[in-house]
Amino acid sequence: QPGVLGQGSPGRGRQLSERGVEFIARCEGIDGERGGRYYPYPDIYGNPTVGYGHLIKSGEDFSDGITGTQALALLRTDAQAAETFVRQRLSAAVPQSQFDALVDVAFNSERAARALIRKIHESGIVGRADFVNTLPQRAKSPRGLVRRREKEANLFLHGAYR
């Protein structure tokens, strides 16, 4: 069932909702937990990371670990770039759940978000296959990424934040 647009507010005035932040947190997962704190770990590319995929920048020191509250605060800050990306490109009126889904896509892949926003502007109708079609054109996409696109499509099409 494709999502027909035109309901809600234009993307330009939107912000990621708290439910959207929680959705991204569930999609990202959290690693490095020991004794109730989260410690740096290498991401799949070997980059030092902490919490919900926060890439550790020069001068940041998380050697003592962070709390779950700190991990969410880092995620909120990191998600602002994806939120801005979507807000600057999306001129269509969409419900909050669709905006949140697009921000999650942009948080994971700006290329994928750009493709979905283009589809929104061209036809006004986006379906589950459009989310799956944003996956890299390799022989086989990682299973976790396929599941993530399915969750994003479910949020976009049905408002399901689970």
pLDDT tens sequence across 56-84: 999 999 999 999 999 999 999 999 999 99
Q: Angle, to 10 degrees, between the axis of helix 18-28 and the axis of helix 143-158?
A: 160
Q: What pLDDT is recorded for position 11? A: 54
pLDDT tens sequence across 20-50: 999 999 999 998 889 889 999 998 889 999 9
Q: Residue 6 pLDDT > 70, yes or no?
A: no
Three-class DSSP category at 9: strand
Question: Global pTM?
Answer: 0.88
More confident residue, 53 or 9: 53
Q: What pLDDT is recorded for position 4? A: 47
pLDDT tens sequence across 121-151: 999 889 999 999 998 876 566 888 899 999 9
Residue with tokens 């997962």: 29
- H-only helix segments in the chain: 18-28, 68-89, 96-108, 110-123, 128-132, 143-158
